């Protein structure tokens, strides 16, 4: 099942999103949507920018990828603090 989710995402341009999370038992769980807000594990996401199959030659141009903390609000707070600090440093 794990391999099918990844293969489908890479080969089927109609699938826009692949999310990988780790369950409480340590098993990687792939899905084509973001987990619920009650999820307590970190997730990695891959979002397709254009509707074409992903290959090893074009993945950098086609995919946006990153991770989401178990508590996205906390992650957002850190991001806002970093942006504000950078603005203060650059603009005095």
pLDDT band at 23 (very low <50, low <70, confident <90, very high): confident
What pTM did the predictor assign? 0.72
pLDDT band at 57 (very low <50, low <70, confident <90, very high): very high
**DSSP 8-state class, residue 51:** S
Number of domains forming the structure of the chain:
1
Lowest mean pLDDT across 23-27, 32-36, 52-56, 75-79 = 75-79
The burial class, CB within 10 Å (0-12 / 13-18 / 19+), for 40 is: exposed
Q: What is the pLDDT of residue 61?
A: 93
Lowest mean pLDDT across 18-22, 25-29, 79-83 = 79-83
Domain that holds residue 11: 2-91
């Amino acid at each position: 099942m794990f391999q099918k989710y990844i293969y489908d995402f890479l080969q089927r341009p109609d699938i826009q999103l692949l999310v990988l999370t780790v369950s409480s038992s340590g098993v990687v769980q792939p899905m084509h949507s973001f987990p619920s807000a009650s999820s307590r594990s970190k997730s990695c996401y891959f979002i397709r920018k254009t509707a074409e199959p992903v290959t090893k030659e074009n993945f950098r141009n086609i995919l946006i990828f990153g991770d989401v903390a178990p508590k996205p609000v906390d992650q957002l707070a850190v991001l806002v603090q970093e942006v504000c600090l950078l603005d203060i440093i650059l603009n005095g």
